[in-house]
Structure 1
Amino acid sequence: MASAITLLSSNFTIPSHFKTCSPIISRSIIISTTTSLSFRVSFLQSDSRVLSNRLKSIRCQALGDNNTSLDSTVYQGIYGPWSVDQSDVREVILYRSGLVTAAASFVIAASTAFLPEENPFREFLKQDLNFLYALGAGGLGLSLFLIHIYVTEIKRTLQALWALGVVGSLATYLSLAQAVGQSLPDYVVDNPAAVWLVGPLFAALTGLVFKEGLCYGKLEAGILTFVIPTVLLGHLTGLMDDGVKLSLLGVWMALFVIFSARKFTQPIKDDIGDKSVFIFSALPENEKKALLEKLEDQNTNQP
């Protein structure tokens, strides 16, 4: 740098009336050059600090705010440590409550199939079948909205099936069931072809219990994965007599109650999964790349 300034000074003659200012000019050149270099160094340091702070914020986000953390346990995830906070607990409770709502609504509505026709309680329940159906569909929708699945496409598929089933159910009730003075469940029972319209809703339920059975090894969830489509397909095709359908319906009811009740015996963290994966998935691509490079460097430097 000094040689460059000397070279410039040797090739540049300062007029005599400016000679008294030459020290000031020289100092100005040096100060300007030094300031430029300082700015570049400062910019690089600032850029490095931004990346470092961003990576730290990812870690803090995974761990949760200290003021809201309900569990001091820190779990090691694939992309960093994480802990359970209040929002996690709230989501898990709502997820499980949605399942309980769906199960309770289904069991109450389906119990009419086992009650004698002259039973007054049966007549009372049959007046509210549409409400129970809507309540159960809403509970299932809440659970599908809050469910934690690592593969986003699978979650979106289950949600799309639920939405398709809701639309089909509304169309069936408004266009067909209401015209003949029946509730939606009664119309589906009397008209097996209507399973095509309401079926996607139960396909979404089947996907949810399959996920639960696969992740946690729950026997009741695994059995439900086969019972639900078997009952629906048996009713749709007419290849299953009423006695078999009632038996499988009873199994469905019992297992659904066990499944939803046992959800509350699991630790909260089970329904969260690896929280670091969800935080990582929400990052922009450039930040994902930076975090992966940092994790790779850390693994390389470990003895």
Structure 2
Amino acid sequence: MSSTKASEVIEGPFQGAYGNWYLTRADVTDVQVYRAALGVVCVAQSACILLAIAQAPVPSYVYDALFVLGTGAFGVALSKIHIYMKPLHTALKFLWVAGLLGAIAILATEHALVPLVYEKPVLLLATGWQFVALTGVFIKEAFCFGRAEAIGLTALIPVLLGGHFLGILPDSLEQGGGLVFVATFLYFCWRKFTQGVKDDVGDLSVFQYLAKNANQ
């Protein structure tokens, strides 16, 4: 997309906290990419969970391929998400990188990743940081829009991940919680695609103000 086309005004002006701002084609594209990337994360994680619950006879590399797909898509989503607090945004990216490096370290010495992490929950200390970052995204979504599915996902991830790490959840509860997570995440993504683009953009005057002060 050319810079001229990217800067094309779609809507506005809107009154922001620090002045008027306009919605551009580039803003719309960023939101679309963010939502699509989250959708890929949802599909990849849901597929892993459903295959595991069904005990499908698939090779371990299928799980690992889905993990790589979801991890890559989550990185794209984090690059496009709009968060006013830059330190929080940076922290989520750092957690994503930490989880990625942990996964690479495991793959460098083992032939499988996802099945091994499931069998040895202590390895979540290497890879689980991405789920912490994902929880941060749901917290942001819950705080900004107050939607029940975002609040539910914010609670589900620590409960399921922490319970598995500590070994305190029976298999039936883990599987039931996994199914609830899949259904809730799918519903969350569906609702994101029906949401107004301007909602995900936020108040651009705040970002412009922060950028201006950072350069002074």
Coarse TM-score class (shorter-chain normalised): over 0.9
Equivalent in the alignment of 2:121: 192
Please state how far the C-alpha of 1:127 moved relative to its aligned partner.
4.2
Output the CA distance in 2 between the equivalents of 1:257 and 1:77: 32
Please state how far the C-alpha of 1:69 moved relative to its aligned partner.
1.2
Equivalent in the alignment of 2:81: 147
Give secondary structure in 1 for the equivalent of 2:10: coil
Instruction: Tell me the percent identity.
Output: 33
Output the CA distance in 1 between the equivalents of 2:80 and 2:44: 19
Please state how far the C-alpha of 1:113 moved relative to its aligned partner.
2.0
Does the aligned pair in 2 maintain the 1:109–1:132 contact within 8 Å? yes
Distance 1:270 1:125, change over 3 A: farther
Give secondary structure in 2 for the equivalent of 1:133: helix
Distance 1:245 1:101, change over 3 A: same
Q: Which runs of 5+ in 2 are unaligned?
A: none
The one of 160, 170, 191 aligned to 1:262: 191
Greater RCO (Cα-Cα under 8 Å, separation 6 or more): 2
Output the CA distance in 2 between the equivalents of 1:247 and 1:68: 47
Give secondary structure in 1 for the equivalent of 2:212: coil
The equivalences for 1:291-302 within 5 A come to none
Output the CA distance in 2 between the equivalents of 1:215 and 1:255: 18
The one of 166, 176, 185 aligned to 2:100: 166
Matched, 1:96 2:35: yes
Q: What RMSD in Å do the two structures reach over aligned CA positions?
A: 2.0
Equivalent in the alignment of 2:9: 69
Does the aligned pair in 2 maintain the 1:109–1:126 contact within 8 Å? no
TM-score, L = length of structure 2: 0.92
Matched, 1:210 2:150: no
Give secondary structure in 2 for the equivalent of 1:255: helix
The equivalences for 1:105-184 within 5 A come to 105-115=44-54, 117=55, 122-124=56-58, 126-175=60-109, 177-178=110-111, 183-184=112-113
Output the CA distance in 1 between the equivalents of 2:37 and 2:59: 21
Does the aligned pair in 1 maintain the 2:60–2:114 contact within 8 Å? no
Q: Which has the larger radius of gyration?
A: 1
Give secondary structure in 1 for the equivalent of 2:57: helix
Aligned positions, number: 213
Output the CA distance in 1 between the equivalents of 2:215 and 2:88: 25
**Letter aligned with residue 255 of structure 1:** T
Output the CA distance in 2 between the equivalents of 1:150 and 1:232: 28
Please state how far the C-alpha of 1:196 moved relative to its aligned partner.
0.9
Please state how far the C-alpha of 1:101 moved relative to its aligned partner.
0.6
The one of 116, 140, 148 aligned to 1:219: 148
Give secondary structure in 1 for the equivalent of 2:20: strand
Output the CA distance in 2 between the equivalents of 1:168 and 1:226: 24
**Letter aligned with residue 74 of structure 1:** P
1:1-52 deviations in Å (ceiling 9; x for gaps): xxxxxxxxxxxxxxxxxxxxxxxxxxxxxxxxxxxxxxxxxxxxxxxxxxxx
Q: Which 4+ stretches in 1 moved above 3 angstroms?
A: 124-127, 284-287
Output the CA distance in 2 between the equivalents of 1:76 and 1:147: 21
1:131-173 deviations in Å (ceiling 9; x for gaps): 1101101111111111111110000001100100110111122
Q: Which runs of 5+ in 1 are unaligned?
A: 1-63, 288-303
